[in-house]
Amino acid sequence: MRDREVGMYCCGPTVYDYAHIGNLRTYIFEDVLRRALTCAGFKVKHVMNITDVGHLTSDADTGEDKIEIGAKREHKSAWEVAEFYTKNFFSDTEKLNIIRPEITPKATGTIPEQVELIKKIEKNGFTYRTEDGIYFDTSKLKDYGKLARLKKENLKAGARIEIVEGKKNPTDFALWKFSPHDQKRQMEWDSPWGIGFPGWHIECSAMSMKYLGETFDIHCGGIDHIPVHHTNEIAQSEAATGKEPVKYWVHGEFLVIGKEKMAKRAGSFTTLQSLIDEGIEPLAYRFFCLTAHYRSQLTFDINAVKSAQLGLLRMTDFMERLDEVKESVTKKDISKVMGKARDDFRKFIEDDLNTPKALAAISDFMREINAVMDRNALGREDARKMRDTMLDFDRVLGLRLGETGKENAPGEVQKLVSDRDKLRKEKKFKESDLIRNKIKELGWEVLDTPKGPKVKKI
Ligand code: AMP
Ligand code: ZN
């Protein structure tokens, strides 16, 4: 940390398919962390890579490249597939109000840096060559696996990692893979070792070093990355520089369905779009994620997400209500309520991002202020202060609370909203969906609430 500057690196998406809402949970938690640091006065330099090559279907460096699988499936080039899903990913994160990291390099855009890093690791004596690539020899590092507290004696070949021909130790991993002799890959590059492509882990070491230096402050990702990907990132970076690359590792727990981890591999996964199709607003999904601590598993349940939508609505209703206050004076001392809410919120966020407790503190605050408003005892000036307090909370939560309130939809939009509502009551959902799209084209979004439809500017 230099002069209150924080370097933060987050593993980005592998862009061979749509992101699922489990992936998005991780990016939401990272965004909350970044926002909390910013609010605490740090200047955050946030880097997130795009994995557009080299992530094989198996952690043991076997199987096919996921991007090339996507290309076959969709009859597109690997480059087109990567571009399509990268765009889609950023469109999802935008809908979830995730602040775009300042630097979002692609693996394919940093091949020379990856090759240079492998050359350093080779020069320091940590590599060997097999039939299919250049491998990292994990037995050369005394404390390999320290992040995951892996015990070498427990890692007998084949016990939990596939055996790969030519590998000296089961935990060894590819730095550079050779293209197959009999086929031309769509994504391949020349290198000092032969034509091929980088192993999955090297990109993150190369990119974090390039943008944040050999040692930086925070590295995030989902917990699945601890035993292999991040363990290998540490090994590579230490072998190259002799320094610990990361001061703080911060990992988010999984979103699960039943007892299963949500995964793309399973074939059926829930995307943000599928939630939107169910009438869930993206920010309601963000709210749902905030109801759990990032280090706890969160079970996906559509009804729980719908309750989160109501939770969000309570907040936006509160903002609107504050906006509509007309009384000139406040007839109750509310400074303590506001002070306590601010103190509690800050205390909970600073306590390892305890968002569920922070939301509970806001809920108490809203209940007390609503009670004051019920008695017409809140004045305009104080209502504005309450609104500012909520907006300060929202700098961390990112629920776009500032975009609700006075803004009224134009007549044309209001007419479409009531036409759509009529069609829905007649159960003509196809027609009503067409109108929803028209409303969207005009830049507004309809939210179906127990109090009837509401519109919000997109
Ligand atoms: P991927 O696109 O597979 O490389 O994953 C992108 C991010 O999502 C990584 O940080 C993963 O650790 C994370 N991730 C994968 N599955 C889940 C899940 N079910 N819940 C939360 N995060 C996940
Ligand atoms: Zn990574």
Percent of the chain scored above 90 by pLDDT? 73
**Residues 336-375: tens digit of each pLDDT:** 999 999 999 999 999 999 999 999 999 999 999 999 999 9
**CB of 79 closer than 8 Å to CB of 187:** yes
Beta strands, E only, 78-215: 127-130, 133-136, 173-178, 196-198
pLDDT for the residue 155:
57
Q: How many CB atoms lie within 10 A of CB 77?
A: 14
Pocket flag, ligand 1, residue 225 (CB < 6 Å): yes
Q: Whose CA is nearest to atom 6 of ligand 1?
A: 13
pLDDT for the residue 257:
86
Distance 33 CA to ligand 2 centre (A): 18
Atom index in ligand 1 nearest the CA of residue 221 equals 10
Ligand nearest to the CA of 251: 1
Written as six digits, the tokens of 81 are: 């597939």
Atom index in ligand 1 nearest the CA of residue 19 equals 2
Pocket flag, ligand 1, residue 22 (CB < 6 Å): yes
Pocket flag, ligand 1, residue 13 (CB < 6 Å): yes
pLDDT for the residue 304:
95
Ligand nearest to the CA of 233: 2
Pocket flag, ligand 1, residue 224 (CB < 6 Å): yes
Query: Residue for token digits 């999984």?
Result: 254
Query: In the β-sheet with 255-257, what is the strand arrangement from edge to edge?
Result: 260-261, 255-257, 298-299
Backbone angles phi, psi at 75, to 5 degrees: 50, 45
Distances from the Cα of 407 to the Cα of 238, 319, 410, angstroms: 54, 12, 9
Q: Whose CA is nearest to atom 14 of ligand 1?
A: 23
Distances from the Cα of 348 to the Cα of 70, 327, 361, 389, angstroms: 42, 33, 9, 16
Backbone angles phi, psi at 361, to 5 degrees: -65, -40
**Residues 244-289: tens digit of each pLDDT:** 999 999 999 999 987 677 766 555 569 999 999 888 999 999 999 9
Written as six digits, the tokens of 427 are: 């159960």
Q: Which of 325, 337, 342, 336 is nearest to 392 (CA)?
A: 342
Q: Whose CA is nearest to atom 11 of ligand 1?
A: 222
**Residues 283-296: tens digit of each pLDDT:** 999 999 999 999 99
Q: pTM to 2 decimals?
A: 0.88
129: left (phi > 0), else alpha (psi -120 to 50), else beta? beta
Distance 224 CA to ligand 1 centre (A): 7
Distance 258 CA to ligand 2 centre (A): 27
Distances from the Cα of 353 to the Cα of 90, 137, 171, 262, 339, angstroms: 24, 37, 33, 23, 20
Crossing angle of helices 411-425 and 429-441, in 10° steps, is: 160
Ligand nearest to the CA of 52: 1
Pocket flag, ligand 1, residue 135 (CB < 6 Å): no
Atom index in ligand 1 nearest the CA of residue 298 equals 20
Query: Residue for token digits 């159960």?
Result: 427
Crossing angle of helices 335-350 and 380-397, in 10° steps, is: 0
